[in-house]
Amino acid sequence: MDREKVLKIAEAIVNSKKTIVLTGAGISTESGIPDFRSPGGIWTRFDPALMDADILYQNPSYFYSKALPMLEFFKDINNARPSPAHLILADMEREGLISSVITQNIDSLHTKAGSKKVYEVHGNLKEAHCMSCGKKTDFNCLVEKVKAGNIPPECDSCGGILRPSVILFGDRLPECFASAVEEVKSCELLFIIGSSLEVAPVNSLPYLARSYIILNRDRTSYDKGAYIVLNEKAGDGLKEIYNEIKKLQTK
Ligand code: NAD
């Protein structure tokens, strides 16, 4: 590991009055959840068309006739446990080193790890809702209906069609995205962990930050604008950075 970069990141976090973390699928690969683009990732398992809101709205019967393997995979994600990286971020929030976490992930692992201020800008897998009346239901209930051949799955209240409450391509982002934008505009440092930064509009957030740091296994097209880029695994990198912060605090 590049010790000089680790030290520079630790110093930047200690000296920043407000640091916000932005995470992507890469922080959860260490919890056993594949990301999108790596070999063996979600793109190689499921048709990207199944992540498209237009297909869901225009042809729900087609969407649900194909979606069961993906829905069952999503259901399994709900059983995942936080990785050391999620736990370190929760500790960092408790200690006032970071203010909040903005995540593109739908796995709820930051809240499971104990992070309090989390903006889940792509939703999560706890709920489903009716596309007509908006009534919420448990995500597992939607999966059970599809499994039982109820295609498309219907709302018990109004007979409308149910959908997962996660953001699909083409969906509008939830209201919390506006709050996330304000958080980034007001921070001194954006710390990006485990994201290819290829998904819009989240990938506009680095442009709004005064300065940003990237901790990611692979290179991204945002590297040249970053204050520091550390190409390491999230768990390994964060552990070293956190240790370095502790040393700086006891000096
Ligand atoms: P992505 O798949 O496009 O990129 C993931 C990045 O993480 C890659 O650049 C890869 O190099 C890096 N990475 C992989 N393992 C890593 C590790 N152990 N440590 C550090 N970096 C690692 O993911 P994205 O940028 O988050 O965008 C994809 C979209 O996919 C998001 O919108 C998200 O909602 C969704 N998604 C979510 C989950 C989840 O909830 N866990 C999983 C897959 C996809």
Q: Which atom of ligand 1 is nearest to the CA of 218?
A: 11
Pocket test for ligand 1, best of 36, 122, 165 (most atoms within 8 A of CB): 36
Check if 12 has its Cβ closer than 6 Å to any atom of ligand 1.
no
Q: According to the model, what pLDDT value does residue 212 have?
A: 98
- pLDDT per residue as tens digits for the range 156-172: 999 999 999 999 989 99
CA of 246 to the centre of ligand 1 (A): 28
Q: Tell me how far apart the alpha carbons of residues 237 and 89 are, in angstroms, rounded to a whole number.
A: 12
Q: Ligand 1 center to residue 26 CA distance, Å?
A: 4
| Helix 234-250 vs helix 84-94: crossing angle, to nearest 10 | 30
Low-confidence ranges of the chain (pLDDT < 70): none
Residue 133, pLDDT score = 97
Paired strand residues for 127: 138
Per-residue pLDDT tens over the stretch 77-112 = 989 999 999 999 999 999 999 999 999 999 999 999
Active site residues: 122
Whole-prediction pTM: 0.93
How much distance in Å is there from the Cα of 103 to the middle of ligand 1? 10
Q: Distance between CA 69 and CA 50 in Å, rounded?
A: 11
Which tokens sit at 109? 């692992």
Residue owning the nearest CA to atom 31 of ligand 1: 104
The predicted structure's pLDDT at residue 177: 96
pLDDT, position 39: 75
